[in-house]
């Protein structure tokens, strides 16, 4: 039996199908792991809160916000990168890369994502820090919660929730700023002129931040998040994770340790009291463990006081632990079939993404043949087909695009609405950052209509950049009887 008198907090009411929540009061801890975790937290939060405020000059008429997901105008801006709705597959690529990177990191070093950079962890840490400043550390909080509702309890709880609410509101508000211009929406928000959506989504994200980071905390990781469920598939005996060295620690010696009597673990429970999910790392790798390593800092303090070497709880692999128990050592193997496969998949996905991004055309052409009529016969016997031609101009300024056709000798083009043509090449003006739609008629006498159709290519040339793109289409006519 460990010092809490039970193995796991969920097993308290063993006769019921429902478990009451066991409140976790994590004790604050100091040490290198905690310092690193603070560092990651400060970095992540700084990026999150500050990013929408970075300005980026893109010229007149374009947003000057460095990162802007402008859903209303259907444009995503990332510094010098501009994405259109049809570029949304880059997001798919990014998600695939994110998933593979997560697999890779987990198989190498365990759930680093969960322990350090997951928003749930970061904001929970921040909310716990606020709680600790106002309500005091673990023992003080437990005592106050168990005590009567006096003035001290009420004002501390009230202040804590007020600060939580402000942080949650700031978080929810910052989320909105990624979708609309940050300075503008800030002014609009406080002058009451922002849209209902802005107020609605701010309220929504304020509420979720407050509830998830303030109240739900480890319940999210243990009961709501799917990631702990399938992390087991990524971990193996070579994964470098937070580990209690039981060969050193066992048998546990309660209280002061005497030389030669038992293992190094003095069963003080320091590792359990600092755990943000309320588990005992000495039970081994488990679902609830987010691999944050705060128990390492806590245990190192104890080892220092008992005069034993530190790192009784450490980062290590299961394989090395087994070897160490037998008096040998297995070095860390970062290159394993699993990690090589993940890494190759990651490199492949990243290469495809980068190449696709580099070769991203600055102009786009789409040609759609009319569905009805498929063609019309003119008085002089020539055929005319109608096409809807869409030209995507991703450049900042209006440009003239030259459209011509190949594959049908003597084909003449006319643009019905702009009254252009007939000519072999039409110059069509398209405004900057926009799509021009044109009704183009192609008139001609096709030489080789097979079963009523023949291929025809539309080519588009940007007269400013000289870039050319081609769209394969067809020209249709009557089905002629074959000779013989």
Partner 1 sequence: MPTKIEKDDVTGRMTTGHEWDGIKELNQPLPRWWLYILWATVAWAVVYCVLYPSVPGITGYYHGLIGYFQRDAVDADVAAVAKQRAGAMDRIRTLSFAQIRSDPDLFAVAQSAGRITFAENCQPCHGAGGGGNPGYPALAAGNWLWGGKLEDIDQTVTFGIRSGLDNARVSQMPRFGADSILKPAEIQAVADYVAGLYGLPGAATNSIEGKRVFAENCAVCHGDAGQGNRDVGGARLAARVHLHGDDRAAILAQINNPRMGVMPNWNTRLDEAKIKSVVLYVHSLGGGE
Binding site for partner 1 (CB under 8 A): 7, 10-11, 13-21, 219, 223, 370-374, 376-381, 384, 386, 414, 416-417, 439, 441
Q: Closer to partner 1 at the Cβ: 259 or 372?
A: 372
Smallest separation, CB 8 to partner 1 (Å): 8
Smallest separation, CB 185 to partner 1 (Å): 26
Q: What are phi and psi of 135, to 5 degrees?
A: -100, -5
What CA–CA distances, in Å, run from 33 to 43, 133, 197, 388? Answer: 15, 20, 41, 62
Q: Closer to partner 1 at the Cβ: 10 or 400?
A: 10
Smallest separation, CB 443 to partner 1 (Å): 9
**What string of DSSP letters covers 296-311?**
HHHHHHHHHHHT--S-
Smallest separation, CB 182 to partner 1 (Å): 31
Smallest separation, CB 314 to partner 1 (Å): 27
Q: Closer to partner 1 at the Cβ: 107 or 414?
A: 414
Give the contacts of 402 (CB within 8 A, at least 6 positions apart): 425, 426, 427, 428, 460, 461, 463
- Copy the structure tokens of residue 3: 């010092």
Give residue 99's region: left, alpha or beta (phi > 0; psi -120 to 50): alpha
Are 296 and 31 in contact, with CB atoms under 8 Å apart? Answer: yes
Q: Closer to partner 1 at the Cβ: 95 or 232?
A: 232
| 271 closest CA partner among 29, 11, 38, 31 | 29
- Copy the structure tokens of residue 221: 């990781």
Q: β-strands 434-444, 425-430: how paired?
A: unpaired
Q: β-strands 434-444, 383-393: how paired?
A: antiparallel
Q: Closer to partner 1 at the Cβ: 183 or 410?
A: 410
Q: Closer to partner 1 at the Cβ: 13 or 143?
A: 13
Smallest separation, CB 379 to partner 1 (Å): 4
């Amino acid at each position: 039996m460990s010092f809490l008198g039970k193995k796991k907090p969920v097993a308290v009411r063993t006769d019921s199908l429902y478990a009451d929540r066991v409140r976790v009061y994590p004790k604050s801890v100091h040490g290198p792991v905690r310092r690193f975790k603070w560092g990651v937290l400060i970095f992540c939060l700084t990026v999150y809160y500050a990013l929408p405020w970075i300005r980026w000059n893109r010229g007149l008429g374009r947003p000057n916000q460095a990162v802007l997901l402008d859903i209303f105008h259907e444009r995503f801006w990332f510094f010098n990168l501009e994405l259109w709705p049809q570029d949304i597959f880059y997001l798919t690529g990014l998600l695939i890369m994110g998933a593979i990177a997560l697999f890779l990191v987990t198989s190498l070093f365990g759930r680093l994502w969960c322990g350090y950079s997951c928003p749930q962890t970061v904001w929970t840490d921040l909310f716990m820090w606020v709680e600790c400043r106002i309500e005091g550390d673990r023992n003080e909080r437990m005592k106050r919660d168990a005590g009567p509702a006096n003035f001290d309890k009420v004002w501390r709880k009230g202040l804590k929730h007020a600060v939580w609410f402000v942080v949650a509101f700031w978080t929810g508000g910052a989320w909105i700023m990624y979708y609309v211009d940050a300075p503008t929406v800030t002014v609009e928000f406080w002058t009451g002129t922002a849209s209902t959506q802005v107020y609605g989504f701010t309220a929504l994200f304020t509420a979720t931040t407050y509830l998830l980071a303030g109240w739900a905390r480890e319940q999210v990781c243990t009961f709501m998040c799917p990631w702990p469920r399938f992390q087991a598939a990524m971990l193996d005996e070579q994964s470098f994770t937070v580990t209690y060295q039981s060969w050193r620690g066992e048998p546990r010696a309660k209280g002061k340790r005497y030389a030669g009597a038992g293992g190094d673990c003095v069963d003080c429970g320091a590792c359990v009291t600092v755990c943000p999910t309320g588990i005992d790392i000495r039970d081994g790798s488990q679902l609830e463990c987010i691999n944050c390593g705060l128990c390492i800092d806590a245990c190192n303090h104890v080892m220092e006081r008992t005069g034993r070497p530190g790192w009784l709880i450490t980062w290590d692999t299961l394989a090395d632990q087994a070897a160490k128990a037998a008096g040998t050592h297995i070095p860390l193997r970062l290159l394993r079939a699993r990690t090589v496969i993940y890494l190759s998949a990651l490199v492949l996905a990243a290469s495809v993404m980068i190449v696709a991004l580099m070769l991203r055309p600055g102009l786009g052409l789409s040609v759609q043949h009319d569905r009805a009529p498929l063609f019309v016969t003119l008085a002089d016997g020539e055929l005319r087909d109608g096409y809807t031609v869409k030209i995507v101009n991703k450049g900042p300024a209006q440009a003239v695009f030259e459209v011509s056709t190949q594959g049908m000798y003597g084909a003449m083009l006319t643009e019905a609405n702009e009254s252009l043509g007939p000519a072999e090449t039409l110059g069509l003006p398209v405004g900057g950052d926009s799509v021009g739609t044109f009704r183009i008629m192609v008139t001609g006498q096709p030489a080789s209509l097979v079963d009523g159709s023949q291929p025809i290519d539309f080519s588009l040339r940007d007269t400013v950049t000289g870039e050319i793109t081609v769209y394969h289409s067809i020209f249709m006519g009557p089905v002629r009887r074959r000779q013989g």
